[in-house]
Amino acid sequence: MNTVRLATEADLPQVIEVHLMAFPGFFLTRMGRPFLALLYRGFMQSASGVFLVACNDDEAAAPIVGFVAGTLQPQSFFRRLLSSQWFRFGLVSLWPLLRQPRVVGLKLCSALF
């Protein structure tokens, strides 16, 4: 039986693995696990955030087979997330930026400005 429930902190490692498998080559995937963890944690902790996971079973330890994460207020959500977590996002962006400066740098600049 499939179950959809609110995501928890304990779900983040599985959600990140599902993301990496589902979106190979995408910008957020290239940013790496630490970046994705910060982003998805932001959705989880925000009052305007929506973060649900789908499991094949209703047990708490059931494997996650899909998820949805987003916000009801995109402009203010991302502005608040970046302003409150700018240092952490900067740190976790350094390695991807050094590995792929052209690709990551252009995307980061367009996202920020």
Residue at 50 is within a domain: yes
Q: What are phi and psi of 3, to 5 degrees?
A: -130, 135
In a domain, 59, yes or no: yes
User: Measured between alpha carbons, how far is 77 from 92 in angstroms, rounded to an integer?
Assistant: 19
Is the CB of residue 104 less than 8 Å from the CB of residue 93? yes
| Position 113 in a domain | no
Tell me the residue range of the domain where 72 lies. 3-106
112 assigned to some structural domain: no
Q: What is the pTM of this model?
A: 0.81
Asked whether the predicted pLDDT for residue 113 surpasses 70, the reply is no
Determine what percent of the chain is predicted with pLDDT higher than 70: 87
Instruction: Work out the average pLDDT over 39-67.
Output: 89
Helices 33-45, 12-22: inter-axial angle, 10-degree rounding: 120
Distance CA 100, CA 69 (A): 26
Examine residue 111 and state whether it is found in any structural domain, yes or no.
Answer: no
Q: How many domains is the chain partitioned into structurally?
A: 1
pLDDT of 50 over the 80 cut: yes
pLDDT of residue 48: 93
Q: What angle do CA 17, 32, 42 make, to 5 degrees?
A: 80
Q: Is residue 99 part of a domain?
A: yes
